[in-house]
Amino acid sequence: MRRLWGVMVWLVGAGMFPGMAGATPKLPVVESAALAVGMQVPWSQPVRVNDPFEGENVGVFDRHEFSRGDIPRVTVLSLWQPQRVRFLVGFGTQCTRTYVGYIFLYFPVGGLNCGQIDTSRKITEAVLKIGDRNWSLTQGQNNTFPIPPELAMALHQAPEANVPLRLVTEAGELIDSEIGVNTVRSWQQVFAPVPPSAP
């Protein structure tokens, strides 16, 4: 067992969780469903999320970073679980350290230089483009949106390719991002139909 920035991760059996039909016998465990810029979790692979407030479920964390205009770094985080998806958007730079180098040796100079990161955007709509169809999520609270069964099936069957994502903020700002192919591949496991229980 090891601790990564306050997140406990270890291998456990996961066959009893929804969406785990045909899953591998063990998954890493993440001890919170909370999203934060700079968090350390297994990205773009199925995990078991053991949250003290939301219970236990399978999920996949996704992270996409890019620059936009004069904003040096935009970070879009999401957690996909069988019944819901949660988003967090961060604007700003991460911590960097200045180095001075001599041939192949580099030495740090001074401390870390950290820019401001703004995560205050309230997301009111999320739109996914899977194949030729747009899927819109609008009934969210606190940047968390329920996933209807029809969309869950579309996520499970999505072709293994990057999926365009558009987030709309409360102020009407559009944030165009994408979900990476490894996360899309993990959707096959996270959104696998649960076999009916025996009578």
Domain assignment present for residue 198? The answer is no
Domain assignment present for residue 195? The answer is no
Domain assignment present for residue 128? The answer is yes
Q: For residue 199, what pLDDT band results from cuts at 50, 70 and 90? A: low
**Angle (nearest 5°) at CA 117 between 115 and 118:** 145
| Full domain range(s) for residue 56 | 2-190
Q: Which of 67-71, 105-109, 172-176, 193-197 has the highest mean pLDDT?
A: 172-176
- Portion of the chain with pLDDT greater than 90, in percent: 66
Q: Which of 15-24, 118-127, 173-182 has the lowest mean pLDDT?
A: 15-24
Crossing angle of helices 181-190 and 149-156, in 10° steps, is 120
Residue 99 CA to residue 165 CA, distance in Å, equals 36
pTM: 0.77
- Work out the mean pLDDT of the chain and round it to a whole number: 82
Q: Is the pLDDT assigned to residue 93 strictly greater than 60?
A: yes
Average pLDDT for residues 133-144, to the nearest whole number?
A: 97
Average pLDDT for residues 90-111, to the nearest whole number?
A: 53
Cβ proximity of 89 and 167 under 8 Å: yes
Q: Is the pLDDT assigned to residue 21 strictly greater than 70?
A: no
Domain assignment present for residue 19? The answer is yes
Domain assignment present for residue 197? The answer is no
- How many distinct structural domains can be found in the chain? 1
Residue 71 pLDDT = 67
Average pLDDT for residues 58-82, to the nearest whole number?
A: 91
Q: Which two tokens stand for residue 134?
A: 């747009």
Average pLDDT for residues 136-155, to the nearest whole number?
A: 97
Q: Is the pLDDT assigned to residue 86 strictly greater than 80?
A: yes
